[in-house]
Amino acid sequence: MASIKDVAAEAGVSVATVSRVLNGHPSVSEDARRRVTAAVTALGYRPNAVARSLRTDQTRTLGLVISDVLNPYFTELARSVEEEARALGYSVIIGNADERPDLQDHHVRTLLDRRIDGLLVSPTDGGSPGMLDAARAGTPMVFVDRWIPGVDVPVVRADGRSAVRDLVAHLHALGHRRLAIIAGPAATTTGRERVDAFREALAAFGLELPDAYIGQGDFQAESGRRVTEGFLDLPEPPEVVFAADNLMVLGALDAVRARGLRVPDDIALAAFDDIRWFVHTDPPITAIAQPTDELGRAAVRALIDRVEGRTGESVTLPARLVVRRSCGADPASGQNPTAVQRSTS
Amino acid sequence: MASIKDVAAEAGVSVATVSRVLNGHPSVSEDARRRVTAAVTALGYRPNAVARSLRTDQTRTLGLVISDVLNPYFTELARSVEEEARALGYSVIIGNADERPDLQDHHVRTLLDRRIDGLLVSPTDGGSPGMLDAARAGTPMVFVDRWIPGVDVPVVRADGRSAVRDLVAHLHALGHRRLAIIAGPAATTTGRERVDAFREALAAFGLELPDAYIGQGDFQAESGRRVTEGFLDLPEPPEVVFAADNLMVLGALDAVRARGLRVPDDIALAAFDDIRWFVHTDPPITAIAQPTDELGRAAVRALIDRVEGRTGESVTLPARLVVRRSCGADPASGQNPTAVQRSTS
DNA sequence: CTGAAAGCGCTTACAG
DNA sequence: CTGAAAGCGCTTACAG
């Protein structure tokens, strides 16, 4: 592969001059610029980003460590992150933690070894050692979706509180009183917050959230299945199961189906995180939708602010309820008296 | 951040010795090794991968350019690719082409600029200039899923021919005679092949595939919707619509639903590529499943073979039919006389 | 406007 | 077993 030396030789100038035209430095004669450009195309020369990074101490690359690539929520997030980063002149390298702290650590370490300029993380657990090190070492960093309390890093996330209130109002209006939740890992903020928001919303309606109605999931489908089976085995099973993410509701559907029960007649279902397929499941699933795209973009902007020496700010965007049929409502019938946004599809 | 010099100073040895212990070189005294190790942990030293790459001319990194991250098929592929690569000591950087040749080119260029050791591509179109350059320049490369005819690069893919035959046999046994297909872009191999396989399978049953029953999609949901509407507007609409990927069948479902029609009563649906949600759509969707995980692993092995100087071979793995209810069959009823694999869920 | 030179953080043949 | 030195491909202050 041609190097800058080859280009210099071909153009009859020094490598310094080649470098200058490559980087758009103003003080280069028109003649030199022309010859270098010609040499570059003649040789099909592409600057070696590795060498450039070593010299300039910047890679123009962001690292993104997500909890699970197989979860459509994170996949959408990754896409918007990459788009915004590209628009701002950065590349992004994605690491998939698969909800495993050790894998998360592996990726953080690898990314840091590659000297990425900044790190975007949706932490899998309460903070793996490598992650904490990175934060302490002052690596420009921002958390997306999930965060780690006590670590001084901006957080870009959705606030589901009001949407969860809308959901509970919706369920209450439909006559449901026994509401259960499949929680995410207690070590994650989203795992805890969604339970808290749910409990608070229930309290506003004078309802309790008994321990038996809090199932411990791990954001994976299998845990949703297992927890739901537990609920169905209860002497008094819940009337509604609210899954804290879209994969666990998949598992819940599996479990309900395996028992030969019907949604919403026998049991109602709802989920945090909306995905396109929810329109076509049987029945269509009521969900809380995050502004995923904007979250990804805001996170990138905050991170690049930090990277370039500005102060990146935390951002919180509201999530919203999308009512479909899985809780018993017919969105078109106007049965539901509370003011919630309805699905248009 | 501590450099190798700092470690050398701390340990009281030369940087050469530090480098040797870091790389497990045998001829280092036990004493030196101990002091270096101590210095490394004392300083929290991590070797700079950028500098190492520049020197050794290898990055231990593979590039993966996929057509669309939002498509679960590619997301699964990416996951297995990363897993196998990691097991073999490589990292992978993913580029999402979003089915756009210009974006594909952008990623190929960026990846090459970073001097990745090898490139895994599922080409979006007939081959963007940058991709062709890369192949010509001798960059170790392998195609996954889709490939470019005439380019001398190993291909790792699934052969859907026999599964498509099984599907057509299944449809024929159910009494369907007017079968239509939503094709992928003609510029992609999978776009063309699936139509060819479908046509051949129809021919075996004495059925034709009229032009009006071939809709031109682009592997995105919206095109599936548009094409399906066209089918439904035909004087004689098809009885079955077979979508060449899972996103287009989503669009087809949207279109069918918008007309107030039912699947499979009014029209049957099937798709290439299986996803977990198909079990829970209304109705569950009959699909052709690829051995995605094995494809990803095989592709990585073939690529690393090339990178390390061995001859990476092409691999073709069979896809299989998974019968559900979207074509009118009740998988449990044994209605279908042909020997096809049934969904167990 | 231009070039020679230093240096980014490593690895590795060479000499001892 | 160990170190001094060269060099990977760039960028950039410095001098002219």
pLDDT at A329: 63
pLDDT at B124: 87
Reported confidence tier of residue A130, pLDDT bands at 50, 70, 90 = confident
Give distance CA B25 / C1' C11 (Å): 11
Domain boundaries, chain A: 4-47, 59-156+293-317, 159-291+320-342
pLDDT at B67: 92
Domain B4-47 has CATH 1.10.260.40: yes
Compare CB distances from A54 to B51, B106, B113 and report the shortest one's residue. Answer: B51
Classify domain B59-156+293-317 at the CATH topology level. Rossmann fold (3.40.50)
Compare CB distances from B79 to A48, A96, A112 and report the shortest one's residue. Answer: A96
B276-287 pLDDT, tens digit each: 889 888 889 999
- The reply to whether A159-291+320-342 shares the fold of A4-47 is no
Distance separating alpha carbons of residues A252 and A278, to the nearest angstrom: 14
Reported confidence tier of residue B329, pLDDT bands at 50, 70, 90 = low
Compare CB distances from A54 to B54, B96, B345 and report the shortest one's residue. Answer: B54
Domain B159-291+320-342 has CATH 3.40.50.2300: yes
A160-183 pLDDT, tens digit each: 999 999 999 999 999 999 999 999
Q: Which nucleotides of chain D are near protein (any atom < 7 Å from a CB)?
A: 1-5, 7-13
What are the distances in angstroms from CA B192 to CA A17, A128, A162, B152, B214?
49, 47, 48, 20, 11
Task: Give yes or no for residue B137 having a pLDDT over 80.
Answer: yes
Residue with minimal CA–C1' distance to C2 is A17
B4-27 pLDDT, tens digit each: 999 999 999 999 999 999 999 998
Give A-chain residues touching B130 at CB under 8 angstroms. none
Rg (CA), chain A: 25
pLDDT over 90 percentage in chain B: 85
Answer yes or no: do A69 and B54 touch at CB < 8 A: no
Reported confidence tier of residue B125, pLDDT bands at 50, 70, 90 = confident
Closest CA to A113 of B267, B205, B91, B84: B91
Q: A290: helix, coil or strand?
A: coil
B266 DSSP 8-state letter? T
Nearest nucleotide (C1') to the CA of residue B33? D1
Answer yes or no: do B48 and A94 touch at CB < 8 A: no
pTM of the model: 0.92
Strand arrangement of the beta sheet that strand B91-96 belongs to = B91-96, B61-66, B118-121, B141-144, B155-159, B315-318
Task: Give yes or no for residue B324 having a pLDDT over 80.
Answer: yes
Answer yes or no: do B277 and A279 touch at CB < 8 A: no
Task: Give yes or no for residue A124 having a pLDDT over 90.
Answer: no
Give A-chain residues touching B82 at CB under 8 angstroms. 96
Nearest nucleotide (C1') to the CA of residue A28? C1
pLDDT higher for B8 or B340?
B8
Compare CB distances from B281 to A76, A110, A280 and report the shortest one's residue. Answer: A280
Give distance CA B133 / C1' C5 (Å): 35
pLDDT at B159: 95
Helix (H) or strand (E) holding A119: strand A118-121
Give A-chain residues touching B49 at CB under 8 angstroms. 113-115
The residues near B297 (Cβ < 8 Å, ≥ 6 apart) are B80, B81, B83, B84
Task: Give yes or no for residue B255 having a pLDDT over 50.
Answer: yes
Q: Give the number of beta-carbon pairs within 8 Å between A and B.
A: 102
Q: Which residues pair with A288 in a beta bridge?
A: A272, A321
Answer yes or no: do B115 and A280 touch at CB < 8 A: no
Nearest nucleotide (C1') to the CA of residue A36? C2
Q: How far is B48 from chain A (nearest CA, A)?
A: 6
pLDDT at B343: 42
Give B-chain residues touching A250 at CB under 8 angstroms. 276-277, 280
Closest CA to B220 of B259, B248, B198: B248
Please give, chain by chain, protein residues whose CB is below 7 Å from any atom of strand C.
Answer: A 13-17, 20, 26-29, 31-32, 51, 54-55, 57; B 1, 3-5, 15-16, 18-20, 22-23, 45, 47-48, 51-52, 54-56
**What integer is the mean pLDDT of B126-153?**
89
Closest CA to A53 of B52, B146, B50, B200: B50
B232-243 pLDDT, tens digit each: 999 999 999 999
Give A-chain residues touching B254 at CB under 8 angstroms. 279-280, 345
pLDDT higher for A11 or B136?
A11
pLDDT at B334: 45
A209-230 pLDDT, tens digit each: 999 999 999 999 999 999 999 9
Answer yes or no: do B280 and A276 touch at CB < 8 A: no
Least confident window among A178-182, A262-266, A302-306, A339-343: A339-343
Q: How many residues does chain A have?
A: 345
The mean of the pLDDT values for chain B is: 92
pLDDT at B330: 60
Q: Which nucleotides of chain C are near protein (any atom < 7 Å from a CB)?
A: 1-5, 7-13
Compare CB distances from A69 to B46, B79, B221 and report the shortest one's residue. Answer: B79
Decide if A67 contacts A95 (C-beta within 8 A): no
pLDDT at B344: 40
Q: How far is B51 from chain A (nearest CA, A)?
A: 6
Reported confidence tier of residue B127, pLDDT bands at 50, 70, 90 = confident
Give B-chain residues touching A78 at CB under 8 angstroms. 69
B42-100 pLDDT, tens digit each: 999 999 999 999 999 999 999 999 999 999 999 999 999 999 999 999 999 999 999 89
Helix (H) or strand (E) holding B243: strand B240-243
Q: How far is A208 from chain B (nearest CA, A)?
A: 31
**What integer is the mean pLDDT of B121-125?**
89
Decide if B242 contacts B179 (C-beta within 8 A): yes
Closest CA to A194 of A184, A207, A204: A184
Distance separating alpha carbons of residues A170 and A340, to the nearest angstrom: 8
Nearest nucleotide (C1') to the CA of residue A26? C1
To the nearest 10 degrees (0 to 180), the angle between helices B15-22 and B30-43 is: 90
The mean of the pLDDT values for chain A is: 92
